[in-house]
Amino acid sequence: MQDPYSERMSARETRAASGLALVFAFRMLGMFMVLPVLATYGMELQGATPALIGLAIGAYGLTQALLQIPFGMLSDRIGRLPVIYFGLLIFAAGAVLAASADSIWGVIAGRIMQGAGAISAAVMALLSDLTREQHRTKAMALIGMSIGVSFAVAMIVGPLLTRAFGLSGLFWATAGMALMGMLVVAVLPRAHHHLRHRESGVAKQALGATLRHSDLLRLDFSILALHAILMASFVALPLALVGEASLPREEHWWVYLTALVVGFFGMVPFIIYGEKKRQMKRVVLGAVAVLLFAELFFWWFGSGLWPLVGGMVIFFVAFNLLEASLPSLISKVAPAGGKGTAMGVYSTSQFLGAGVGGVLGGWFYQQGGLALVFAGCAVLCVLWLMAVWRMNEPPYVTGLRLPLSAEALLDPALAEQMLAVPGVSDAVVIAEEAAAYVKVDMQVLDRPALDRLVA
């Protein structure tokens, strides 16, 4: 029998976390593989214009933003698995529609349908059902890692697949991956109960406070701006590689591989510095400034192959740094018991940014070419700098969910007693969950005293 307090994940937990990470990876691969190729191959579709290409690139984000939170709440009512199966089926159907299309409007409709398979919140809720409290952070980190890896793989595999099988072949591969994801879900362990967990799901009671929290709103705008800039830039960059650098579209994969690998290793020292020295605000401001520099560099010097490669390396150092840092900041800034709701709003902002960025990137390119796209992204970076300049330095705390004994639940002053424990900065007791949510500084926390209170 598995020790409930074991420091090691059980085989069941490992299988659940790995399987759900794979489901995320399959889905995100399908979303991102079109990013480096749609601007170049999509122009061969009937009725294609740069503005419509941009809409096709970002369309999934609009429906994803609209449906993510409702699907998560629906999974609380009817169960996780029906929502996940239904979402993956919609995603596969959207890929089939796009693969069968011979016009840009068919691809746009397929991308909209892909985004309607908004299962992220339901997958995270299922992960909470299948893992114990002390291992949930590790399991969520595994899923976060799978998303990052899938983005990197998509940027390289997308051009190679399209080169071999064309744009329709790419979408057929995406449909196949969605069906493989359904097979993975079918062999996952079954949850014995649905855990009501405010760290991994949206709580209606916390939504108002989340939307009024100024620093959370700054972070929501940050992820919106980051993905808007990503999508707009990838309307322009593939076209710049073909037109300005004379690099055949079949060879773009090595540019993305170089930029992503260097960008990944380039961001690691800054993450370590920000966390160890507790200077994450400075790191975020610096990364946004570097992103601004990259867009200005593309605008002024992006007329040859090596300047474009160099600019992309700079771009991905900043992008990878921000993509890794912003979710961590949400976890730090969100009040006790509010992380799941804060992450729900954050993810909605991310997908909305992807949709808006694709649409605006295509429209800018149609109106003013590459220069206007890069100039528009630079302006958005300036607005972003202004938004985060007044952000407070985040508290360096960790969120914990502590199950409460029946005796502890009877104590009306439990939250106040928790706040008196050294290292506890925020605490809330949720009686209907028989649990307390606390934010703690692990460097100074008196954990034995906290454990005595909840027991």
| Chain segment 10-23, per-residue pLDDT in tens | 888 889 889 999 99
Cα–Cα distances in angstroms (integers) from residue 243 to residues 305, 309, 374, in the given order: 10, 14, 15
pTM: 0.91
Q: Cα–Cα distance between 356 and 342 in angstroms, integer?
A: 21
Q: Cα–Cα distance between 231 and 235 in angstroms, integer?
A: 6
Q: Cα–Cα distance between 154 and 163 in angstroms, integer?
A: 14
What phi and psi, each to the nearest 5 degrees, are found at residue 437?
Answer: -110, 130
Residue 181's pLDDT is 93
Residue 138's pLDDT is 77
CA dihedral angle for residue 64, residue 377, residue 296, residue 260, rounded to 10 degrees:
0
pLDDT in tens, 245-291: 999 998 999 999 999 889 889 888 998 898 888 889 999 999 999 99
| Residue 1 pLDDT > 60 | no
What percent of the chain lies above the pLDDT cut of 70? 96
**Average pLDDT for residues 80-94, to the nearest whole number?**
94
Residue 236: closest CA among 56, 59, 38: 38
Residue 182's pLDDT is 94
Q: Cα–Cα distance between 199 and 153 in angstroms, integer?
A: 29
The maximal CA–CA distance of the chain, rounded, in angstroms, is: 72
Q: Cα–Cα distance between 72 and 124 in angstroms, integer?
A: 9
In order of their start, the domains of the chain are: 11-189+200-389 (1.20.1250.20), 398-454 (3.30.70.100)
CB atoms under 10 Å from CB of 49, counted, come to 15
**SS3 at position 429:** strand
**Is residue 7 packed enough to be buried (19+ CB in 10 Å), middle (13-18) or exposed (0-12)?**
exposed
Residue 258's pLDDT is 93
pLDDT in tens, 398-454: 888 888 888 888 888 888 888 988 888 888 888 887 888 888 888 888 888 888 888
Tokens of 274: 């920000």
| Residue 195 pLDDT > 70 | no
Under a CB-based contact definition with an 8 Å cutoff, are residues 361 and 233 in contact? yes
Q: Cα–Cα distance between 432 and 324 in angstroms, integer?
A: 34
Residue 7's pLDDT is 60
Of 133-142, 359-368, 422-431, the one with minimum mean pLDDT is 133-142
